[in-house]
Amino acid sequence: MSIIDKIRYPWEVPPREGEAVEVAEGVLWMRLPLPMALDHVNIYALDDGDGWTIVDTGFDSKRSRAIWRVLLDGPLSGKPIRRVIVTHHHPDHVGLAGWFQEDFGASLWTTRTAWLFARMLQLDEQALPRQETLEFYRRCGMDEEIFNERRSERPFNFADVVAPMPLGFRRIKQDDTIHFGGRDWVVHIGNGHAPEHATFWSTDDNLVLSGDQILPSISSNIGVYATEPEADPVADWLESCERLSQYARSDQLVLGGHKLPFTGATVRMRQLIDNHHGALERLEKHLETGRTAGECFAPLFKRQIDKASYGLALVEALAHLNHLYHVGSASRTLREDRSWLFQKIS
């Protein structure tokens, strides 16, 4: 690896709450807090002259709205938000899109799948988990204590952290060129972490707005859920990383949804691919004996999984098991307790 290929972080410290860092001319980097282990989301504002385009929004909460008002009056100089671009449908990225539409008159730009998922999930509020979800947990081999807790408590609802989304959005799709922040950006779509995840590659300088598709020091969660239990998002992720790699350059400044902006996209793309191939190899060896998804944390994560991280770990374990099953490297049988048992095919 040459010195130019190394991952570097031009800023060692993120912006403080209510403040912004200018990472390029007319491009501000800001952060909003999240009430979870990954305790922040990065948001960006790009100067359009008479207003701003913002990329992603944070959760909908009293604290987030208060921080946004500080940002609007401070670093954003009181200029209006005219456009909201949402990279993907996850609530830390789309949470306040509807607020900006309703209260500020901003237009929403995102992919069709991201909008459909976000609006559908925002409207689907549940007091208790559905029977299909509980059955899915059983299929995964969820820990019995955690299963009994979850069956009787309110599940995570988009409506708790995503503002109501009105009808109407502007569709973004592969190979679109969009002008904002004084630059032209080509859209390249990724998958795996979220369906139809938009990334934006400047044709005028070295900037990349990558959302959660390309992160520097963590790998985006890749999960299978009760909505599509047979899915193979690992295949989608690997295909996306290979395809996006052709656009990566070592000098690009990648502005992701979490952690720090970085350079070294070429080596990072290779790491993202190699990390999952390595995980699949370790998992396949682990399947010499039949295992459920809940019994596959050790080879995948190589660390202790606590209760707070259990749900994300479980759906990611199933994603990797589904991939081995779909490519013919593992068999799957239904155990007496209704859990899927995966085993390596010799």
Residue 212 lies in a domain: yes
pLDDT at res. 4: 52
Give the pLDDT confidence of 156-195 residue by residue, as tens digits. Answer: 999 999 999 999 999 999 999 999 999 999 999 999 999 9
Residue 87 lies in a domain: yes
Under a CB-based contact definition with an 8 Å cutoff, are residues 189 and 174 in contact? yes
Say how many domains are in the chain.
Answer: 1
Q: Which pLDDT band holds residue 303 (cuts at 50, 70, 90)?
A: confident
Residue 255 lies in a domain: yes
Residue 336 lies in a domain: no
The strand pair at 40-47 and 253-256 is best described as: unpaired
Between vectors from CA 74 to CA 69 and to CA 80, what angle results, nearest 5°? Answer: 65
Residue 138 lies in a domain: no
Residue 265 lies in a domain: yes
Counted residue by residue, the chain has a size of 346
Mean pLDDT confidence for 310-314: 96
pTM score: 0.96
Give the pLDDT confidence of 195-249 residue by residue, as tens digits. Answer: 999 999 999 999 999 999 999 999 999 999 999 999 999 999 999 999 999 999 9
Residue 308 lies in a domain: no
Cα 39 from Cα 37, distance rounded (Å): 5
Closest C-alpha to 44, from 261, 263, 268: 261
Residue for token pair 């456009």: 83
Residue 150 lies in a domain: no
Q: What is the CATH number of the domain that holds 217?
A: 3.60.15.10
For residue 218, what are the domain limits?
3-126+156-285
Burial of 27 (0-12, 13-18, 19+ CB in 10 A): buried
